[in-house]
Amino acid sequence: MADLSAEERPEMTIAAVDKVFAGSIPQLYQSHFVPLIFQPYADDLARRLTDRRLSCVLEIAAGTGVATRALDAALPEDVAIVATDLNAAMVDEARAHGTRRPVEWRTADAMQLPFPDGSFDCVVCQFGAMFFPDKAGAFAQVRRVLAPGGLFAFNVWDRIEDNEFADVITESLARLFPADPPRFMARTPHGYHDVDVIARDLAAGGFAATPRIDTVSARSIAPNPRDPAIAYCQGSPLRSEIEARGSLEQATLVATQAMEARFGTGPVDGKIQAHVVMVER
């Protein structure tokens, strides 16, 4: 791939690259990223639904199924779960890990949900809304498939400065590639953190109710500094940006060294922070 500057790469291309979870990314995402940052928030989302009477739940942007498995563990056995993701490779990885109850796994685009109006009494999205090219359009799709009184529950990462591992690794890569720093983490996963913007997008998508938005902090823990470096550099679409600029292994080493400098050479522990959003149709 040609090493184009940020100015030369069209936004459409960047957006497309940001959504590519292919090759070994799904496996590394599951083995390294899920325990590092996703599991606590999956468990949190599932707990928030346990006091509601539910019959059928749709999950969009399900990834490798971390929230799906949390929902499976937390909800009564008679609640049906349909889990979807845009990327077939992520759905395959999720399906391979299995669930207690039968789950309907589907490859589906959140921008064009293939379900009739009012099909679900809850829609869940774990760290997927940041990837939607048209947030209000995606939220309108969610509202369409929700039954009246149904709940939309989702979370998004707070700004990158409040997520220590992501911030340290992003800054280390900026030093490695100063002419054209890889900005995937700041641009996309941590690029949709303004709660006023989120509320406006929900309203534009047809949600008339005021959303409840909680900011939730947790801890990201790993047995060594290299595990988070592998997670971020190799287990996410950041990998494509790195490989367009140079050596993936060199970038992983630089990120590991930055983690060691900040957190030490043994087990590492850093702050993570996200917004949890709940709104009724």
Q: Give the C-alpha separation, 17 to 70, whole Å.
A: 28
Enumerate the β-bridge partners of residue 85. 107
Q: Give the C-alpha separation, 197 to 132, whole Å.
A: 14
Residue 96 is assigned to a structural domain of this protein: yes
DSSP 148-180: EEEEEEEEEE--GGGSHHHHHHHHHHHHHSTTS
Number of domains comprising the chain: 1
Q: Which domain holds residue 137?
A: 11-280
Phi/psi at 3 (5° precision):
-90, 85
Segment 185-232, tens digit of pLDDT: 999 999 999 999 999 999 999 999 999 999 999 999 999 999 999 999
| CATH code, domain with 158 | 3.40.50.150
CA triple 44-109-142, angle to 5 deg: 55
Dmax (CA) for the chain in angstroms is 55
Segment 79-120, tens digit of pLDDT: 999 999 999 998 999 999 989 999 999 999 999 999 999 999
